[in-house]
Amino acid sequence: MGKLRDADVIRIVIDRHRGEGTVDFIGEDGKTFSAGEGAKILAQRKTRDDLAPHPQLPDDTRLWAALQNASGGTWGGCVFDVEKITARL
């Protein structure tokens, strides 16, 4: 999310029966493309430096975010990767 810009087009699909959903970046500057192409574009973008966590985030939220970051993040394949976290500690 930190790589999206104003006016970027995203597609949100939610399957309420299976409890699954996707969010795909599929367009910019009047051009549309596949979710795969959008992922490639986002991979090349730098994270926006005007975004930051709210300074009053609760400790449990900050801990969850730190564990996500240490284990490869959401897109690393899991919420927490205990092996990666303990290796970094």
Confidence bin at 77 (pLDDT 50/70/90): low
**Average pLDDT value for residue range 2-6:** 90
What confidence tens digit (pLDDT) does each residue in 47-66 have?
888 888 888 999 998 888 88
Residues 74 and 37 in one domain: no
Q: Which residues, at least 6 apart from 39, have a Cβ–Cβ distance to it below 8 Å? A: 24, 25
- As given in the structure block, the two tokens for residue 85 are 């976290």
> How far apart are the C-alpha atoms of 50 and 83, rounded to whole Å?
32
Domain count, the chain: 2
Note down the domain range covering 33: 1-49
> How far apart are the C-alpha atoms of 89 and 85, rounded to whole Å?
6
Residues 57 and 89 in one domain: yes
How far out from the chain centre does Cα 69 lie? 11
Residue showing tokens 């092996």 = 83
Residues 82 and 60 in one domain: yes
Q: pTM to 2 decimals? A: 0.60
Residue 72 predicted with pLDDT over 60:
yes
